[in-house]
Structure 1
Amino acid sequence: MKQRFPAMLRHKLSNISLSLRKKYYRVLGMQINNGVVLGKIKCKWPGKISVGAESVIEDDVVFKTPQPFADTNFVNIGQRVFIGHGCDFNITLGLTIGNDCLIAANTTFVDAGREMHRSLPINQQPVIHKPIILKNDVWIGTHSVILQGVTIGEGSIIGAGSLVNKSIPDYQVWAGTPARFIKNR
């Protein structure tokens, strides 16, 4: 009985912490629907983020939106989405995640890059911003990187440790660096 009481107390404190965290982010403008489990995330501009019902975002997920006043800068997370711990979202233009998606731990999303011309130093090259779209029922393996302008088709799977630098059709499995077609799902 002695061990059960501390466990129950820890559970109650955890629920209170989750409730307070959700209220805090709602006050700052984050749209959080019913049944969302929100871990200890880092988010500078939560007003640009919408989380669908019954989604789970684990601890240590970072949302970076460096252009907070741009209308096109947003992160829309669908319903029943799972985002594993340690994921990093560097979004300057837009990210849409469909319903029923699984994003494994330590995955990175970057929607900006640079052009590469010999006439200018790399730090003076124009920045390219293109949105990222994950359609419904997508699974991204751990430690993957998804780059700007990529659309991952419905029902597709990305293998662990992949670098996705081009769009992927519906119901296909891709893996590798850079990601390449493995098979149809």
Structure 2
Amino acid sequence: MKRPNQIALIYSKVIGINHSLSFYLLKIRGLQGGDDSRIEKITCNWPNKLIIGHQCNIENGVDFRILNPLNESSYIKLGNKVFIGHACEFVCNEKIIIGNNCLIASKTTINNTRHEYKVTANINTQPIISEAIILEDDVSIGTSCVILQGVTIGTGSIVAAGSVVNKSIPANEVWAGVPAHFIKKRT
């Protein structure tokens, strides 16, 4: 296999500087923590509502979206040594807490909001309902999963790729499917 040429190496360094600048601008806007983390190009509309732990790795295209920045319980907190794959989306109107040593694969959506759907009013005028989402320590989420409002995923649990999690998962279990259901205990 050929070694990268000089242009590829220079390009890689320029991209690294761009990521550092982007992270620095988010810090100026209020992002908390993450000093020893590797953070690529991410978006966050309210960085003062994002707390990043130590030694995290956040890849390109991750979107942290805070819907109500004036709500004190509306924030996203990542523990230490968290990995978030590219193109993940966090939609937060109530707290989203990710524990230590968690892995969240690419294209996963974590959304803690939904609309009511009563027939007595138009759908676009329905109130928003929000419930916290908590991933405890040592949780693994496969690629392209959806984690919905009110869910707690217990320590050491695994969610298989493509699953939709709409109810809480106990510790040390493997879940999969749409909607996600129990597969087996983790041994």
User: TM-score, normalized by length of structure 2?
Assistant: 0.92
Q: Verify: 1:110 aligned to 2:111, yes or no.
A: yes
1:110-157 per-position Cα deviation (integer Å, ceiling 9, x unaligned): 101133333333333332110100000000011100000000000000
Aligned twin of 1:152 = 153
Q: Distance in 1 between matches of 2:88 and 2:126?
A: 27
Q: Distance in 1 between matches of 2:23 and 2:113?
A: 29
Contact map agreement 1:52 1:79 (CA 8 A) in 2? yes
Contact map agreement 1:22 1:32 (CA 8 A) in 2? no
1:66-99 per-position Cα deviation (integer Å, ceiling 9, x unaligned): 1111111100011110000010111111100000
Aligned letter for 1:117?
A: K
Moved more, 61-70 or 173-182: 61-70
Q: Distance in 2 between matches of 1:108 and 1:4?
A: 37
Contact map agreement 1:139 1:158 (CA 8 A) in 2? yes
Aligned twin of 2:57 = 56
Query: Unpaired runs of 5+ in structure 1?
Result: none
User: TM-score, normalized by length of structure 1?
Assistant: 0.93
Moved more, 84-93 or 3-12: 3-12
Contact map agreement 1:51 1:77 (CA 8 A) in 2? yes
Q: Distance in 2 between matches of 1:6 and 1:122?
A: 53
Distance 1:4 1:137, change over 3 A: same
Q: Distance in 2 between matches of 1:6 and 1:161?
A: 38
Q: Distance in 1 between matches of 2:49 and 2:85?
A: 20
1:46-76 per-position Cα deviation (integer Å, ceiling 9, x unaligned): 1100111110111011111111111111000
Moved more, 8-17 or 143-152: 8-17
Q: Distance in 2 between matches of 1:31 and 1:81?
A: 15
Q: Distance in 2 between matches of 1:120 and 1:106?
A: 33
Q: Distance in 1 between matches of 2:73 and 2:132?
A: 9
How well do the aligned residues superpose, as a CA RMSD in angstroms? 1.6
Q: Distance in 1 between matches of 2:14 and 2:126?
A: 50
Q: Distance in 2 between matches of 1:85 and 1:8?
A: 22
Quote how far apart the aligned CAs of 1:4 are.
Answer: 4.6
